[in-house]
Amino acid sequence: MENLYLAFSDTTGNVWLTRINQDTGNAIGTAQKILTPPQNHSYSVIGMAYNAKMDTMYLSLTVGNTNQPLPPKWNLFAINKFNQNIHRCPQSLSAQLILTSNTLIRGIAYNNDTIYGINNNNVVYLIDVNSPNLDNSVTLTSMSPDFGNSINLAISDNTLFTFETPNGSTSLFSFDLDNNIGDNRLIIGYPNNYNYIYSPPGIYSLTANKHGNLYGIYINATESSSGLMFLAKYDRSSPFVITQVSPSPIVNLQNSRGALAFVPSKTKLSCNRH
């Protein structure tokens, strides 16, 4: 079995972590604060990925200056011993900064000792988990004229997936990691409260479970509201439809943004502080 986790930023720029029921979209238990921004700064969560081999969770965040109109920077954080501590000592979770850049990485995914991080120009950076840097990258290209400006991605079965909503039509684009062959499927079914006019990314963040089904967060933004986060699912056995997991928002905070990651379930142990 797998557990689904959500990292999200609140209106003051703190970062919280909570477990999500993947069948109902509801938060489970009490959210745990895992990051507080430096003074006069604010964090915004946009990507999350789990490395089971090293039991490490990675967070992709933008950090903005709340006092000066400066461009935001990108931070990559790592939480070591994530699955070990989340079940017995969640208060022991510690996020460590491992990479920072003026290049704004958005969604991230993990595969074979590499963190894949996408930016708004369809460039995917290949970040070695043992020596994190932005020296290696590939550019995604598609035969579809609608492809461009992805901010989310997930990897399953050696295939990279990303949703986009160009020209008001959401599509799922997929790329084989071996030969870079691209494919896309037009999505014709949407959640009832999904408004692509004011939420152009469509799916804000994305992850995949062990069966290859895609779970994402979409924002029901409107002209007058920044919107709330809702859990959505794309079942690969029932293509072309994004389903809303529950009618209620995951977190009832306007302007809150977050990212998802699946983690193998683990037997709960007693807390050992030593």
The pLDDT of residue 255 is above 80? no
Closest CA to 34 of 13, 51, 63, 49: 13
* Distance separating alpha carbons of residues 189 and 243, to the nearest angstrom: 8
CATH level 3 topology of 2-264: Tachylectin-2; Chain A (2.115.10)
As beta bridge partners, residue 162 has 173
Quick one: which of 231, 234, 165 has its CA closest to 26?
231
Cβ atoms < 10 Å from Cβ of 13: 19
Dig out the tokens for 86 from the structure: 């989340």
When the pLDDT of each residue in the chain is averaged and rounded to a whole number, the result is 86
More confident residue, 187 or 99: 99
Q: What contacts 26, CB < 8 A, 6 or more positions away?
A: 20, 246, 248, 250
Q: 103: closest CA among 116, 90, 113, 117?
A: 117
Q: Is the pLDDT of residue 67 over 70?
A: yes
Q: Which of 29-43, 68-82, 90-104, 173-187 has the lowest mean pLDDT?
A: 173-187
The continuous run of DSSP H or E covering 232 comes out as strand 229-234
> What is the per-residue pLDDT across 203-251, written as a single tens digit (0 to 9) for each?
889 999 999 999 999 888 777 777 888 999 988 777 778 888 878 889 8
**Least confident among 22-26, 47-51, 169-173, 189-193:** 189-193
Residue 73, φ and ψ in degrees, nearest 5 = -110, 165
Domain extents for the chain? 2-264
Question: Whole-model pTM above 0.75?
Answer: yes
